[in-house]
Each structure stands twice: as C-alpha cells, then as structure tokens.
C-alpha cells in the first residue's frame, strides 16, 4: 500500500474552521496526520484535530500557537498558511481600512504564522510550507486590488522562502485556487457569478476538497520531495 507519508506528521493549518481550511484539516487527519488548526472566531466542533483560537494579525498569538502545537503534538513538519479575507471594492472606493485589513491578514498574517516556525524547520532539516494564494494574485480581478496584491505577494514570499530554505531540506510552495465554493464567494452577486462561470472552461466552481488534495500533495515528503518554489494552480483551466 502506498501513502503520501503524512502519517503522524504534525501540520498546522491557519483559518481551518471552515471552507478550504476545514477541507484541508479533514483530509490530513484522514491521512493520519496530527493536525492543529487556528480559527479567529467560530470554533467548528465537527472537525478533528487541535483547535486554537488565534488571529493571524497578532504576532504574539501566533508565537503562542506554535508553542502550543509543539507541546501537544510534537515538532511541526507542515504549515498551511490558509487564513485569508477579502474586502472587495473598485480602486476609487477602496478605503485605507479595506487596504490595511487585507494586507494585515493575507500578507503580514503569513509572516506572523511562519516567523516562529521556519527556524525550527531549518533546525530539524525537514518541513513543508504551503501558502494559499489565489487566481486573483496572478491574473488580477476587478474589485480586488488589495486582495490581488496580497495574493501576488504571497507568491513572491513563497518563492524567496523556497530559495532560502532549500539548503535546509525545507520546501515552500503555493497553491493558487480558482473560484472555490466557500463563504468567500457569498458576497458576489449571482449575475457576476454567472459571468465568472462562463469564463471557466470547466463551467463550475471548484470544491474545497479539490484544494485540499493539492495541499496534501505539496506537503507530502514522498510525492513532492523535489517540488519547491512552485505555484500549483487548481482552477478548472481558468488561467491567465
Ligand atoms: N474561495 C475562493 O474562491 C478562494 C479562491 C482563491 C483563494 N482563496 C483563499 O483560500 C483561503 C481560504 O479561503 P476560503 O474560501 O476557505 O474562505 P473562508 O472565508 O470560508 O475561510 C477563511 C478562513 O480564514 C480565517 N481567517 C480570516 N481572517 C483571519 C484572521 N485574521 N486570523 C485567523 N484566521 C482568519 C477564517 O476564520 C476562515 O476560517 C484564503 O486565503 C482565500 O484567500 C479562496
């Protein structure tokens, strides 16, 4: 029997209580990983794993998360930086608060998540980091200047990290989902969703589980051991 080699690997998923994050938590737990996940407000008691309330914009909280996970589950092997938000408005209506909220969560949150963990991955000479970017970071999207900028930055972050981390045997990759059926799509009006669907060759939105499998592949020390610094697009052929 073959496996992805994630049995007993300790993996932290940020924003794991719903949507794509909860699909990742569920899949990794089914593969035998020791999963911890953070949530900001609403605890999902249906999920397996260690649930920790923490806001990714709070550096001290994220330091505490890494300590708690290590204490409870052992040294961290994998990190999935998934927490993210949108504050969609066209540029002329975008407020400074919209800008700051998205950059603080999606980009500074990435830094806060990884800052206490990456040095430990280097010390143990093993680890895999997966950052959740977005199709908007690569092809742009109307109303998503703040979000697209944060998700393009996540790719630049990941690629630079992969180069620094390589000498320690640590990998860093990004997943760029297309449009995925989660709460994040709820604010989009139906007429706009119809137009987006016409543009997606698969003629459907993706499912959170379809992102989870891509993440599991990139975490795997077996399946993706020579894959680093890459962006895996999971988008039903909705490319740039
Ligand atoms: N749904 C899509 O179409 C889509 C497409 C591309 C990329 N993404 C990205 O995938 C990731 C997950 O999105 P989703 O669709 O599951 O959305 P979602 O809104 O259902 O879930 C987002 C998660 O992030 C958490 N979160 C938000 N702000 C946080 C904070 N400050 N601290 C801690 N946790 C916080 C939320 O609690 C939630 O668990 C995000 O990074 C998003 O940008 C989503």
Domains in the chain (CATH in brackets) are: 10-234 (3.40.50.720)
CA–CA separation, 98 and 146 (whole Å): 8
Instruction: Give the position, in ligand 1's atom list, of the atom nearest the Cα of 132.
Output: 41
Best of 13, 14, 17, 21 for a ligand 1 pocket test (most atoms within 8 Å of beta carbon): 21
Task: Output the residue whose Cα is nearest ligand 1's atom 41.
Answer: 84
Confirm if 159 and 229 have CB atoms less than 8 A apart. yes
What is the distance of C-alpha 46 from the center of its chain?
20
Instruction: Give the position, in ligand 1's atom list, of the atom nearest the Cα of 20.
Output: 16
Helix, strand, coil percentages in the chain from 3-state DSSP, rounded to 5: 45, 20, 35
Predicted pLDDT at 19: 97
- Nearest Cα neighbor of 174 from 225, 130, 210, 118 is 130
Confirm if 83 and 22 have CB atoms less than 8 A apart. no
Predicted pLDDT at 43: 82
Confirm if 11 and 34 have CB atoms less than 8 A apart. yes
Point out the least confidently predicted range of 87-96, 167-176, 180-189. 180-189
pLDDT tens for residues 175-227?
A: 999 999 999 999 889 999 999 999 999 999 999 999 999 999 999 999 999 99
Q: What Rg, from alpha-carbon coordinates, does the chain have?
A: 17
Best of 19, 55, 104, 112 for a ligand 1 pocket test (most atoms within 8 Å of beta carbon): 19
What's the DSSP call for residue 105? I
Is 148 touching ligand 1 by the criterion CB < 6 Å? no
Confirm if 109 and 135 have CB atoms less than 8 A apart. no
Predicted pLDDT at 239: 86
Q: For the whole model, what pTM was predicted?
A: 0.98
Confirm if 150 and 94 have CB atoms less than 8 A apart. no
**37: which residues sit within 8 A by CB, 6+ positions away?**
12, 13, 14, 15, 16, 17, 21, 22, 25, 47, 49, 50, 51, 52
Question: Measured in angstroms, how far is the CA atom of residue 25 from the centroid of ligand 1?
Answer: 13
Instruction: Give the position, in ligand 1's atom list, of the atom nearest the Cα of 55.
Output: 32
Active site (catalytic) residues: 147
Confirm if 158 and 173 have CB atoms less than 8 A apart. yes
Question: Measured in angstroms, how far is the CA atom of residue 221 from the centroid of ligand 1?
Answer: 25
Is 175 touching ligand 1 by the criterion CB < 6 Å? no
């Amino acid at each position: 029997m073959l496996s992805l080699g994630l049995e007993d690997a300790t993996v932290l998923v940020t924003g794991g209580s719903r949507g794509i994050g909860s699909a990742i938590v569920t899949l990794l737990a089914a593969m035998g990983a020791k999963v911890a996940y953070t949530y900001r407000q609403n605890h999902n008691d249906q999920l397996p794993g260690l649930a920790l309330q923490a806001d990714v914009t709070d550096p001290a909280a994220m330091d505490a998360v890494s300590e708690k996970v290590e204490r409870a589950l052992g040294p961290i092997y994998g990190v999935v930086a998934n927490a993210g938000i949108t504050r969609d408005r066209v540029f002329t209506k975008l407020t400074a608060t919209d800008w700051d909220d998205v950059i603080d969560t999606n980009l500074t949150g990435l830094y806060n998540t990884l800052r206490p963990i990456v040095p430990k991955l280097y010390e143990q000479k093993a680890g895999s980091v997966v950052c959740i970017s977005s199709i908007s970071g690569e092809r742009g999207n109307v109303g998503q200047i703040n979000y697209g900028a944060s998700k393009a930055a996540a790719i630049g972050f990941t690629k630079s990290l992969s180069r620094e981390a390589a000498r320690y045997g640590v990998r860093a990759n990004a997943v760029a989902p297309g449009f995925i059926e989660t709460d994040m799509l709820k604010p989009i009006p139906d007429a706009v969703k119809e137009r987006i669907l016409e543009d997606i060759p698969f003629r459907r939105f993706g499912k959170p589980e379809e992102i989870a499998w891509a993440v599991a592949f990139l975490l795997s020390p077996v399946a993706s051991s020579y894959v680093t610094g890459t962006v895996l697009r999971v988008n039903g052929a909705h490319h740039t």
